[in-house]
Amino acid sequence: MKTVLARVIGLGSVALGSLFWPQTKSSAATECQPKTEDQLELKLVQVLFRHGARTPLKSIPDILEAQWVPKLLAVPTHTHIDYVVTDLQGGPRPPAPVEDSYRTNTLSGGTYPGQLTTVGMQQLYDLGMRLRARYIQEVPFLTPSYSPAEVYIRSTNIVRTIESAKCLVAGLFQQKQTGVVPILTSEAETEILYPNYHNCKLLRALSGHRWAESSKLPAIAKDLQGIQSALGIPTQQQVDFILIRDDMVARQTHGLACPSELVNWRSVVEQRAVDMIYHVYEPSKRENLQLCVGPLLHTVLSNMEEKVKGTSSEPNRKLFLYSVHDTTLMPCLMALGIFDMKWPPYAADITLELLEHRTTKEAFIKVSYLGKEQHIPGCSAVTCPLSEFQQAMSAYTLPLDRYKQCCEESKGFPSEL
């Protein structure tokens, strides 16, 4: 088990804790909207977004290495803001063991694995600009300059996600702020913004052994043997499609050297990386999905419910920003029923809008992925009544106290849950 977990840590975005659900429904909005659409008032926006382009987490062994030089990390002046990283209570930033593990290795060229690049910084700035166009220019929802009363920013305790959040805020508010922008983060032991293997024994028990199996599935193993032969990687060298994809996409995003043999295999690499993770999390069992992102989904829903009921401790809050990873977005997309069987690109976002009917006060939810409105299975329309959305998500949300109780188990969910 320790060997499996070590590989997980080395190969993925914060332990590569993704979970796949056997759903094929993933379509942008096409049906007519409710006749009351013009009567709906925007009340709350929540955005879960992946960090921007970065250096690879690990280079493909024994092939032409790209040069990941420090100049690739230059910070554009328009992404600068005055910010501070704190814990969830506003105290000092917690220790970051995952980030520390990255710093124990150096890539060819002199940079560290997983560092946000100039390209990635611009991607998040652009996402911020898109949100600005939507929520400041098209709809006068947010104050044009940053307001701590309106905006809550939380990130995983990883430098690339923290810097991504900073760049998004710079684009959203055009560097206009009063005071320092706080970016909140959690200690690794209590993190819920990614599947937390280290602190959830049940998640480890349910998915750990399937990681080792995933590369040995006949179709995957055959293709892996083929690409290792094409790239000249010895068969005894430990490599898999997720590692290969990570390095390949990082190279291509930054215009760095990529062997032609690898380019020729791109579509296979993309598909097999997804196939591997699909197997790892035993998608026929919803418990895996709950343990991966159930507490995060519960938090998102709770934010909505408090806004509707007027019970929020921050009544003026209008925007929640969560800076996360691909391995956060994928299980969230699956729980929402809109996963398209494609790896989320850098700076991908899931945006959830809470709207209220001006007359009836009925609450509605609208979900977008990559800027496109989605029809959530279980909802009668793209503009989904909150009650329907809550029912659709009820199988996957998991309150934090129950999550903690489940994680202490090693054989399954407690019977009373």
Q: How crowded is residue 101: how many other Cβ atoms within 10 Å of its Cβ? A: 13
Helix (H/G/I), strand (E/B), else coil: 333: helix
CB 376 within 8 A of CB 386: no
- Dihedral angle over CA of 305, 310, 312, 313, nearest 10: -170
Pick from 357, 399, 377: nearest CA to 367: 377
Q: Cα(308)–Cα(43) distance, rounded to whole angstroms?
A: 9
Q: According to the 3-state scheme, what is the secondary structure of 21-68?
A: CCCCCCCECCCCCCCCHHHEEEEEEEEEEECCCECCCCCCCCCCCCCC
Q: Cα(186)–Cα(122) distance, rounded to whole angstroms?
A: 26
Catalytic positions, written as ranges: 51, 326
Q: Cα(69)–Cα(107) distance, rounded to whole angstroms?
A: 9
How many helices (DSSP H) and strands (DSSP E) are in the chain? 13, 9
Q: Which phi and psi (to 5°) does residue 136 adopt?
A: -125, -45
Give Cβ neighbours of residue 294 (< 8 Å, ≥ 6 apart). Answer: 396, 397, 398, 403
Q: Cα(210)–Cα(221) distance, rounded to whole angstroms?
A: 14
